[in-house]
Chain A
């Protein structure tokens, strides 16, 4: 027995090295592992907050309508009733944040109308679409159609 111990004693050394490394790893791990990891699942719960903190660019039409009631009424009476304000006017959270200092530019009408209403075989058949070059003979869309209530 003693002889066996003497002959295999050196095996303790690599074992000790491994155990020491393991101990160091466990200590370091408990120090740097993110707090509360695993609270909701295998992830850092702080990630949810991080994503939620992203700034908002589009205010949403409910906010627009708080001031622009008249435009809202005109729109509600026509075919664009379900088209959001910012769908044409672009992201306006900055404007709703400080209405006087940030005044948005009015969109370029022709490009805007064409994007939705240019005739295209892949669009649903019942969707109002025209070949704009032929339809208006070069006139701007809002020469005849009022954007908020475009029906003629």
Chain B
């Protein structure tokens, strides 16, 4: 049977529209999502960030904001710019509006400077999950730390417990919000909004349970770190080429 590309595309488009309408209805009625070829037990999600590739363009921050309707002034992901002056002095760090509009150009070439994208580290031993009094935040079976916005009390204990500052109280919903690793995308075969829109490939979504995932080769051959390793949170966002000054 000969189907033209346009036909295929229109069928696909209609399915997408129906799926989004269906998803909206399901959100109202609370039923299960349409397709379920996705099996949580087959995945264990994380991310690799290569500091040497980040150019501080802020695309990830904007993309995340649009994909997830992040309220203004709050950030599910953000980029920091570090300037390391002399030794033994604390670095100068800035993140203007979380890098939503990028950064004003830095002209000083005499010091070490670089960009550091940050997001929820989706810790396997998450202190934020540990302190939630009711079970409104949790680590999913596939390794993503999520918030149940219909159950969260808004006590903000998890915000205090997160060593990385990635959580905030959503001003309209009055529940805690944070990066979901674009769970609604990765469970449908897409990558996260931030990784999709990073122009240099500094951010890479990885699946530790996928034997073909590049993460295994990267971890085997490159030097990597997590942020604040002494917190022993078993963070799953690994940084390549991270400077020791980064907090």
Contact with A along B91-104 (1 / 0, CB 8 A): 00000000000110
Could you tell me which residues of chain A, from 42 to 62, have a CB within 8 Å of some CB in chain B? 42-44, 46-58, 60-61
Secondary structure at chain B's binding surface: helix, strand, loop or mixed? mixed
Tell me which residues across on chain B come within 8 A of A121, comparing CB atoms: 106-109, 111, 113
CB-based nearest A residue for B25: A53
The interface on chain A, measured as residues whose beta carbon lies within 8 A of the other chain's beta carbons, has a size of 48
Q: Which residues of B contact A116 (CB under 8 A)?
A: 55, 57, 199
Answer yes or no: B171 CB below 8 A from chain A CBs.
Answer: no
Contact of B24 among A55, A84, A93 (CB under 8 A): A55
Picked from A53, A91, A97, A124, the residue with its CB within 8 Å of the CB of B16 is A97
Segment of A10-18, A21-29, A33-41, A137-145 in the binding face: A33-41
A51 to chain B, nearest CB (A): 5
Q: Does B105 lie within 8 Å of A124, measured CB to CB?
A: no
Say whether A98 faces chain B, with CB atoms less than 8 Å apart: yes
| A87 interfacial contact with B, CB 8 Å | yes
Contact B53 A58 (CB under 8 A): no
Question: Which chain A positions have C-beta within 8 A of B74?
Answer: none
Q: Which of chain A's residues have a CB closer than 8 A to the CB of B113?
A: 121-122
| Residue A3 is within 8 A (CB to CB) of chain B in the complex | no
Partner pick for A57 among B67, B108, B151, B180, CB 8 A cutoff: B67
Quote the shortest CB–CB distance from A114 to chain B (angstroms): 8
Which of B7-15, B162-170, B210-218 touches A? B7-15
Q: How far is the CB of A121 from chain B (nearest CB, A)?
A: 4
What residues of chain B lie closer than 8 Å to A93, measured between beta carbons? 16
- Give A40 to B41 CA distance when docked, in angstroms: 11
In the complex, what residues of A have CB within 8 A of residue B102's CB? 115
Q: What CA separation (Å) do A50 and B184 show in the bound complex?
A: 9
By a CB distance below 8 angstroms, the chain B residues around A58 are: 63, 66-67, 185, 190, 193, 196-197
The 6 A-B residue pairs with the shortest CB-CB distance in the complex, in nearest-first order: A47-B148, A122-B113, A43-B138, A42-B135, A54-B184, A87-B197
The docked-state distance in angstroms from the alpha carbon of A50 to that of B185 is: 13
What is the interface of chain A, defined by CB distance below 8 A to chain B?
34, 37, 40-44, 46-58, 60-61, 63, 66-67, 80, 82-84, 86-87, 90-91, 93, 96-99, 115-116, 118-124, 127
Q: How large is the interface on B (under 10, 10 to 19, 20 to 34, 35 or more residues)?
A: 35 or more
User: Which residues of B are interface residues toward A (Cβ below 8 A)?
Assistant: 5-6, 8-10, 12-13, 16-17, 20, 23-24, 26-27, 30, 32-33, 40, 52-59, 63, 66-68, 81-83, 102-103, 105-109, 111, 113-115, 135-141, 146-151, 180, 183-185, 187-188, 190-191, 193, 196-201
Give bound CA distance, A49 to B198, whole Å: 27
**CB within 8 Å for A67 and B9 given contacts A47-B151, A123-B56:** yes
Task: Determine whether the beta carbon of A52 is less than 8 Å from that of B106.
Answer: no
Across-interface contacts of B57 in A (CB, < 8 A): 115-116
Contact in complex: A124, B55 (CB < 8 Å): yes
Closest to A47 in B: B148
Contacts of A51 in B (CB 8 A): 146, 180, 183-184
- Determine whether the beta carbon of B197 is less than 8 Å from that of A50: no
Contacts of A47 in B (CB 8 A): 138, 146-151
User: Provided the pairs A56-B20, A58-B67 are in contact, do residues A43 and B105 lie with their beta carbons within 8 angstroms?
Assistant: no
